[in-house]
Amino acid sequence: MSKSKKQTKANQSGSSFFWIVLIVAVCLLALIIVLSKISSPSEKDTNATFDYSNQPFEGDKDAPVKIVEFGDYKCPICKQFNESVYPVIQKEFVDTGKVQFYFMNFPFINTDSTRSAEFAETVYKELGNDVYWKFHHLLYNKLPDDQKYERMDYFTTDFLKKTLAEVSSDKDVKKVEAAFNNKDYKEALDKDKSYVNKLGIDATPALFIDGKKFEGSSFNEFIDEIKKAVDKK
């Protein structure tokens, strides 16, 4: 074979190799773009979808913005939120008809975390929304500042009954106790925990504004996010 023929064949081989590499590169780029869209969905797609029915809330039923707090009754940060942050949210947004505030349970600190969560769910189901929230806030107020209690079985059934007795009648306490002992409303707690698992929540309080998880680190940031949500309505 002459030198020119060898060169021609070599050039053809080189050209074929170039186009093969180019096609493979284009395919890889397309695959990367598709995978990036799957792994990084839009903000709208990442918003949580909650079934708000039969969940305790404070605020006007027609309030346009919904906030969800996932909490543990033994969580010291939740206690601080309940006593320091929530009153401001209540005054500025809940009482003014702008926000519905929901509480859902993520009991994880100790066995009595689950006990108190299930007891509170029973209070809500048996005695209604108003008594539930009185009990809810009182339970956090009774939580000691000393965090040693986290390792203790602090919220005993007797403790929970006595706390409830401060905001309801003896008759109502016995009604709740009977339903609690029968585990009549365990499925309500299971519903909250299913959201925890689905959303990968690993700490409390975890806060959501219209389904969007709050990722900030300060009270002012949280208030700003609520204002933005209200302004969009």
Pairing of strands 99-105, 57-58: antiparallel
The pLDDT of 37-56, averaged and rounded, is 69
Q: What's the DSSP call for residue 172?
A: H
- What was the pLDDT predicted at 16? 55
Within 40-85, residue ranges assigned H as helices are 43-46, 76-80
The pLDDT of 152-158, averaged and rounded, is 94
* 139 has a pLDDT exceeding 60: yes
Give this prediction's pTM. 0.79
Residue 233: pLDDT band by 50, 70, 90 thresholds? Answer: confident
Residue-wise pLDDT tens digits, 25-35: 444 444 344 34
